[in-house]
Amino acid sequence: MKLLSISKLLLALLLASLTFGCGGGGGGGDGSSTGTSADPAPSTVNSLTSTQVYDILNNDFDRGYYPEEIVYRWETPIWVYTAGDPEFETAVQKFEALTGGLVTFQIVDTFEELQAHGYGIAASIGTAVDWDGSPHPGNVSYVPGSPNSLFGYLTTGELDGISYVNLGAEGVDDSTVGWFPSAVAEHELGHALLGGGSHIENFNGDEGISGELLALVDTYYSTPIGTPLSQIVPVLP
């Protein structure tokens, strides 16, 4: 098991009152849909150039609470607990397939296994909240059901601890508010993979794995952990 860094503790203490991320990844706070299954699949869209990917990762994608301008990401394979949720399981499978193996997962049968491992991503069903704590389709947090999208990390650049992908809440079904059933789960898993809460065009909450999101994930996971952001070589899907 990895040793936790003091930076991780400071992150939680300093940012406990701040909120990042989508606060709920899909539709509006009332769970209303912004897309239908008849709409074109956003995953076919990629309007980014290599220069734009570089600019987004260096300037636009909010990673301001990390102390260094380096690549912070998970070591692969990423241990993951799906909670048996079909939408989240689909999201995991799609990221592995669409990244061509750049992102791989080690799926565990129980949450206790992930806890014992000490770091990874866990689905938490029925605990999604918006920034104000109201029910929401999805969000990512360091504690289940929290509006705060915090990520633990080591000074070497590896993401650490357990990141929770909260899906659905009372009166809000995450599988019905996106472009397709797994869209919200894909979006939130995208946040967990990138270790950040910012949104960009075609990565807003209900579109699933867009070409833009895939470009960011491919670039990050083809780049060694700890690489200075200025040395990133963009990868387009």
Q: Can you read off the two tokens belonging to residue 216?
A: 């960011």
pLDDT the model gives residue 54: 74
- Give, in order, the Cα–Cα distances in Å from 129 to each of 75, 159, 221, 230: 28, 23, 28, 35
Average pLDDT over residues 162-181: 93
Distance between CA atoms of residues 134 and 131, nearest Å: 7
pLDDT of residue 182: 96
Reply yes or no on whether the pLDDT at 132 is more than 50.
Answer: yes
For 65, counting Cβ atoms within 10 Å of its Cβ (0-12 exposed, 13-18 middle, 19+ buried), the class is middle
Is 47 part of a structural domain of the chain?
A: yes
Helix (H, G, I), strand (E, B) or coil at 55: helix
Whether the predicted pLDDT of 5 surpasses 60:
no
Residue 133 lies in a domain: yes
Q: Is 135 helix (H, G, I), strand (E, B) or coil?
A: strand
102 within a domain of the structure (yes/no): yes
pLDDT confidence of residue 61: 64
pLDDT band at 147 (very low <50, low <70, confident <90, very high): confident
> Has residue 92 been placed in a domain?
yes
Asked if residue 126 is part of any domain, the answer here is: yes
Asked, for residue 1, whether it belongs to a domain, the answer is no
**What is the residue-averaged pLDDT of the chain?**
80
Work out how many domains the chain is built from and give that number.
1
Does some domain include residue 127?
yes
- Asked if residue 57 belongs to a domain, the reply is yes
pTM higher than the cut 0.95: no
Range of the domain at 14: 6-231
Q: What is the mean pLDDT of residues 59-79?
A: 83
